[in-house]
Structure 1
C-alpha cells in the first residue's frame, strides 16, 4: 500500500485502490488550491505512475472536476466539483418536507436551487 494514498481498511486490504488514487488526486488539488500543479508534480507527490495520473486527470477534466490550463499544463479543481456538494448537502434533504408542504398549500410546484460558480444546482 502506498503510504501517500492513505491506509487500507481494518482487514488490511484496500477495497478499491483505483478509487483511492482518484480521491487522493482530488484531495491534493484541494489542499494546493492556491498553487496549480503539473502532472509530474501530482504523480511525484502521490507516488503514482504518469500514465495512471494522466488517465485520472483526463477523466476528471472531462467531468469538469479538474481544469487543465492549456498554456502551463497545470491542473486545478474545476467548477464541476463544487456543484456536487450542494446536491449532497443535508440542507436540501432538510428542506424537502417543508417544500412539499408549501407546494401542497399553494397548489403549485416549487424547487430548491443554488447558484454556484455560475452553475445552477437544482
Structure 2
C-alpha cells in the first residue's frame, strides 16, 4: 500500500467550496492531536489566506473546529458526529478486536483498510508503523501496484482494467503476482531504499498545491522502480517485508477490506509464510463474523 493520490469518483460538477471544507477537515483530522496555525493551513492547502480564514471561521462556528491561541484542531462537534456515523459500519466494529489481538500476537503494528468506492481507507490502527503514511483516515487510491489483495479475487474484466492502468513494464508482473496472491491468500509489500525515498517524495507532494497529473506521473515512476511482491521462486532465504495484507471477503465474494500486518524488516521466507497464514486466519474470522 502507498500514499494518497486524489481520485475523482463522483459524478457531476465538483463544488469548490465543499472541496475546500473537506480539504481543511482532512488536514486537521490527519493528526487529531496536532494544533495547526492559519499560516500552516494556507501553506499546506494552497488556499489564499482569506479563503482559509473564511472556511475555518465557519467550521469553528459549527463546532467542527476549535481555535485556541491562533491554533486550530478538530472540534468536539465533529468528533461526536464521526462517532455517531461510525455506528453504521459493522465491519469496523467486528474487526477492531481482532486487529488488536493480531497486533499483540505478532508484536507489530496492524491496521484495517476498508474499500470505499475507488479508494482504500485506513480505519483502524494498532501500534505505530515505521511508515508515517499509515495512519487512521489515510486514503489510498485503488491503483497499481498497491492494494493488490483488493483486486486479486475480482472478476477478470475488473482485473484487466486495473492491470491496464499500470505502466506497460509492470503489467505482466502484476498479472502473475495476482494469481500468486489468490493461491497463498495474502499480498506482500517489499521496499528497496529507492522505493522508500520515493514514498517520502510522494508524502511531500500530498500537501503541496500540485496537479493531479504530476502526482500520477510520480506514482507511475514509483511503480516502475518497485519490485512487486514475491513470486514463489523468489521467496527463499531472507526476504524484506514491509506489510502483509489478507482480504476480508463478504458473503457475495467481494473484497470489502483487508487486515494488514506491518513487520517492516527482513525475515526468513518460512517466517513470512507463517505470518501470512496468521494474518489470513484473522481476516477469515472477520469475514465469518461479518457474514452472519
In which range does the TM-score fall when normalised by the shorter chain? 0.5 to 0.7
1:31-110 aligned at under 5 Å gives the runs 31-69=30-68, 72-88=69-85, 89-90=87-88
8 Å CA contact 1:64, 1:79 repeated in 2: yes
Count of matched residue positions in the alignment of Structure 1 and Structure 2: 85
Mapped to 1, the partners of 2:18 and 2:67 lie a distance apart of: 21
- Give the conservation status (yes or no) of the 8 Å contact 1:8–1:14: no
User: Could you say what secondary structure the match of 2:73 adopts?
Assistant: strand
- Cα gap change, 1:49 to 1:7, in 2 (>3 Å): farther
Question: For 1:35 and 1:41, how far apart are their aligned partners in 2?
Answer: 12
Structure 2: stretches of 5+ with no match in the other structure? 90-292
**Structure with greater proportional strand content:** 2
Q: What is the alpha-carbon distance in structure 2 between the residues aligned to residue 85 and residue 46 of structure 1? A: 23
Distance 1:10 1:76 in 2: 28
Q: Distance in 1 between matches of 2:30 and 2:48?
A: 20
Match of 1:107 in 2: none
1:66 Cα deviation (Å)?
0.2
Q: Which residue of 1 aligns with 2:153?
A: none
Aligned CA RMSD, in angstroms, stands at 2.6
Q: Which has the higher contact order (CA 8 A, sep 6+)?
A: 2
TM-score, length of structure 1 as denominator length? 0.60
